[in-house]
Structure 1
Amino acid sequence: MAIDRMGYTDHGPVHVKIVANSALKILRILIHYGVVPNIVKDYGMTNDDAEVIVVLASTLHDLGMAVVRETHEEYSILLSLGFLESYLEAIYDREAATILTSEVLHALSTHHPPRRPLTIEAGVVRVADALDMEKGRARIPFKAGKIDIHSISAISIESVKIEEGAEKPITIRIQMTDSAGIFQVDQLLRNRIRNSGLENYIHVVAMITGDREAKIIEKFEI
């Protein structure tokens, strides 16, 4: 509905699946390199519980878009609370369910700046959300006539890959068809990584590989 009425990029089921998949990849790489999720460090729970948090938060983070884009995080919390309580209490005891619910809600509330994630899990969701920037997501509003720096830059992103890194645990490799895509990386992705708590673990490499224009720059890193 947001795509049709407001010309927004997709925030529906496809976006949710991409974010959840990216979040799990990031979390598992971090754990492999010795980063301890907060649910483990603070509550003595397990890495599996950390995965539950990031998947649920990824699934529910844009639920508030059904109401409004601005402050949608607050509506996502309101719309998710009842579901989380009933769903988690069917699996965990009440104390554990309450802890997981609060951790998921924290991730929902901080997946956009300026709010700052205070857990590894929340930081993972924040960054994973920003990584859904491939051109397919922007194609609908672009074809509908929404021409601005956001749609032009987004349609320039050919692929985004999450890999184990050499300099840092995680390398994000972004392939762009032209230099307009730098806006997505420098303005949008950088702002999500900043103050996410994951700054020391992520290296971003953006490469321009297309022949549509004379290359202003071939490689951009943050």
Structure 2
Amino acid sequence: MLYSPHSIHKTRPLPRTQSGFTIVELSVAVAIAGVLLVSAIALVQVVLRQARANDVVSGIPRTMAQIDKIYARANSFAGLGTEVAVGFGAFDGAFDIIGLAPNRVANNRFGFPTTVDVATLFTGPASNTGYVVTLAGIPTSSCADIVSSASATGVRGILVQPEATVGTRTITAAGVGTLTLAGMRLIPPGGGNPTPATAAAAVVQGHLPNGTLDIAAMTHARACGTGNASVSIGLINWK
């Protein structure tokens, strides 16, 4: 029997190198990805909400200017309503017109109705000399921005009231019917609760003093300072 002159060496197995990720590493990676995803979603929601608020603000002066123009030669706003306003083009591209005449709805960019009602007792019995454009379903987080921007567009009066149910307006047609110029008082001097104008809505801008925006009234719990998810905002003009 022949033997190799070289001694026989057994091959030693090389140590295995670890590959892939451990469960701990994967868990950390998933957690970080989750945080980034949630942050991205929240940022997108903020951007979308701001864009919708901007659309609402941009549409306000055009809507009210068109109403004022159509009724410029009339003694009152008698007969004005949402369907009539839709018919003569008061709601432009900032609103989505849903349905068919005579029951069309003008949805604002937050997806809830914008309505037009006549203030039948505004400056006297059956006067019909004022009207209110009510924006329903406005998120509370956008309330102050929309109110302050609207006050700079020349809107003469602004009402705000929290909504118990999102998108169900609390400044109702019946309440607008009882609105009077004398009721457009701001927060009492020295503080206190804002004077109700209609359906317990807080007046944040009115004819006294000089129609300026009342920040205290706007941030009150009965206005933009509410804990409710949404508010109704009423924008008022009169002859």
Scaled by the length of structure 2, the TM-score of the pair is 0.27
Which is helix-richer, 1 or 2?
1
Scaled by the length of structure 1, the TM-score of the pair is 0.29
In our comparison, the structure showing a higher alpha carbon Rg is: 2
Which is strand-richer, 1 or 2?
2
